[in-house]
Structure 1
Amino acid sequence: MPRENYNDLIAFIAVARERSFTRAAAQLGVSQSALSHTIRALETRLGLRLLTRTTRSVSPTEAGERLLQTAAPRLEEIEAELAAVAEFRDKPAGTIRITATDYATKTVLWPRLSKVLRKYPEINVEIITDYGLSDIVADRYDIGVRNGDQVAKDMIAVRIAPDMRMAIVGTPAYLEKREWPKKPQDLTTHNCINLRLPTLGGFYPWELKKGNREVQARVEGQLAFNGTYQMLEAALSGYGLAYVPADLVQTHIAAGRLVWVLEDWCPTFPGLHAYYASRREFSRAMTVVIDAIRYRPEERKR
């Protein structure tokens, strides 16, 4: 049977079940004459009678009864599967690839995503740690996470964290052996823990600012890492000074494990932003992820 004639089969099932052209026509939303024409056309194509008609009743023939018992359940299964597919379309689903630093992942992305992903098992999230300021379009990422001043102007950006202050810290034991730095130039006499940047193959310069004076300090030391948390651990172990986000070291400073030096030179940067290329083909999965990681100041106050 041609595929376009499945509607004729549906019409037959309605008449056979209702045992009435009048009730079947009302159910299908067609006229009785149109329905009668459809059934006759179906019987003609099959070359046999499916319904026995009298002035008072309609009933399936033996062939019609067999067709009703075999075809109706299969059509119901097809309709159920189509409904399931439509429901799947309405559910957030798919893979969202995110590039972010380890600091952003641990302090923002994972704490917030972990609260919502259980509700959306069809959403897959890949988070790739990267300090290289990747081109999210060329590298096929859906979302990038960077400080607000590092986001290209042609991207759509959503703030996910408050402004971020940096801190230069070291242990009291380390600082006891050396003169405390009073200006950025004094860092040359200290063992500084560097952050290796993959893009330029060099070290991240410590961006310092006091009033209108700005300095990019190129520091040296025994250790270099490509992640924030390793730098912090090295500083806690007394290997030197580290330049890290202030919120990571506040508890260590309060506990006396670390000391903040050159505090008046440590700047505040625009906070972390999630950014993406376009709203075109913006999936429901993207909507869920962006909404989950969005910065809400009122939540921070609680």
Structure 2
Amino acid sequence: MSEIAILGAGAFGTSLAMALSLNGAAVTLWCRNPEVAENMRNTRTSPPRLPGHNLPKTLSVEHDLTQIQSPTLLLAVPMQSLANFLQAAPDWSQRTLVACCKGIDRQTGLGPFATVKGGAPSADAALLTGPSFAADIAKGLPTALTLAAPTDSEGLALQNALSRPALRLYRTTDTIGAELGGALKNVIALAAGMAIGAGFGDSARAAVIARGFAEMTRYSMAKGAQPETLQGLSGLGDLVLTCTSEKSRNFSAGVAFGRGETPDMTSTTEGIATAEALAIEAELHQLDMPLTTAIHAVTTGKIDVHDAVGTLLARPVKQE
């Protein structure tokens, strides 16, 4: 039995499974699609979402979830599917569930850590987040992530179990800050992409990043997050990565919106669902979230990017 299993054979889940098994550790990767799982076993190559990689010898691929008995499970399923996945899966008692997705559930308003805690109360919950692209992890390129757990002892145990030479984990007990940083940065990445797609230039993108970070920090601290968490990998680090690279699904979707095009919705673009959830909360509780509100209006077709910029620029001037 492998000590670690990754549930979800998308690009990120597969890359994590490859990275964790490179040092010779036995790791299991669960794939929902039986045909894809069988092909991965037979060819020892990565799935269509992450093509071009050979699977390490110590990585096994499984389709039957009931056969996976690993005590530590990394949940690499989309945020909007996480709650249903937890309900439909086997008993989670006496196991550690590490959420590896980012966003806010549009139905419950909860982040990944809170969703795991509520959906699997008999398990120990943790969160792995931070600036990372699946392709970089799969290639063994240096990557640093945040590991958030309720107690430092739990975090330390997971940090030792999951750290690898090219995968450096920093631990925190601020689960609120870690999950909100990973969620809100996707919304700001949409805004940064819109600025570039609409031709507003890099100066406008820099302004979006700076003001977006202020919005992220203000909201997260109101929810109980620590400011230093937002200044770290799971906040500022992830924000910079997703706002400056075309590898980011959220940034690329934003570019399409900025050009007046329909973005590719075949891949997971968590920022759209997160903007919806946060815009509803901002309206209900009178929260000052101008960028998030504007992005939600654009992604739902209520206004275009140029109208959104006009609305933002028309706000009263104030101190930074």
Specify the TM-score bucket, using the shorter chain as the normaliser.
Answer: under 0.3
Q: Which has the higher helix share?
A: 2
Considering Cα pairs closer than 8 Å and 6+ residues apart, tell me whether 1 or 2 has the greater RCO. Answer: 1
TM-score (normalised: structure 2): 0.25
Name the TM-score, length of structure 1 as normaliser: 0.26
Which protein is bigger by CA-based radius of gyration? 1
